[in-house]
Amino acid sequence: MSNKVLISPSILSADFAALGQAVRDIDAAGADMIHIDVMDGHYVPNLTIGPDVVKALRPHSDKPFDVHLMISPTELLVPLFVAAGADYITVHPDAGPHLHRTLQSIRAAGVKAGIVLNPGAPVEQVDPVIDLCDQIMIMSVNPGYGGQSFIPSQLEKIAAVRAKIDAHVARGGQDILLQVDGGVNPVTAKACIAAGATSLVAGSAVFKGAGTYAENIAALRGDTANSKAA
């Protein structure tokens, strides 16, 4: 596994009137993935974007589209996001009755699959489906809104899932990205990386200043040589 921490800026914090430009800008600034938060106003109390927007953004970057589905039911809409150009699709175990089948269908379509553990979810949710996961996301805020503060108790969960992934790989299983989403900034990013995270989602911390995206991304990686952040 590479030691490089992947940065997936969340366009939820971008200017929605200029999303194509925002995607081009973070691509040029060194983002490894483009994180797209899909909310339905039902599973979470917010409404964001759908597959047509994902499709419209696809020509603006060759970077992997990291699509986080905060919708219920999930299974029926997965094919639309596959067709729109998603490279990763991450789903919530409690957002539909057939998690295993949903993950199977994502992978069968040639897209990488992942699950999300909400702050109140036990780490054991990983166990029955770890063979089907290319990514496991730890929510370090409650899903539904950007700009929330990091929940420190989730660091223990990151470490616990890191141990599960390492044991899985030691048994001959596939490697799995361990992603953290919510309240990630240069300070909390350092703690997440120390706990075992290999991918970080950040919205406000990346988009907080026009023209500083490269420095903001470098700060999340802890690359002080290329960052102006403390």
Q: What is the pLDDT along the chain (230 residues), one digit of tens a residue?
A: 446 899 999 999 999 999 999 999 999 999 999 999 999 999 998 999 999 999 999 999 999 999 999 999 999 999 999 999 999 999 999 999 999 999 999 999 999 999 999 999 999 999 999 999 999 999 999 988 777 899 999 999 999 999 999 999 999 999 999 999 999 999 999 999 999 999 999 999 999 987 799 999 999 998 744 555 43
- The H or E element that residue 177 is part of is strand 177-181
Check the annotation: does 145 bind a ligand: yes
Rounded to two decimals, what is the model's pTM? 0.94
228, 157, 141, 153: which is closest to 196 by C-alpha?
Answer: 157
Read off the tokens for 214: 């490269």
Sorted by where each starts, the structural domains of the chain and their CATH numbers stand as: 6-226 (3.20.20.70)
**Residue 46 CB partners (closer than 8 Å, separation 6+):** 39, 144, 145
What DSSP string runs through 73-127?
A: S-TTTHHHHHHHT-SEEEE-GGGSS-HHHHHHHHHHTT-EEEEEE-TTS-GGGGG
**134 tagged catalytic:** no
Which among 25, 27, 32, 37 is annotated as catalytic? Answer: 37
* 146 annotated to a ligand binding site: yes
To the query of whether residue 175 is one of the catalytic residues in this protein, the response is no
Cα gap 203→31, rounded to integer Å: 12
**Residue 196 among known ligand-binding residues:** no
50 is in an annotated binding site: no
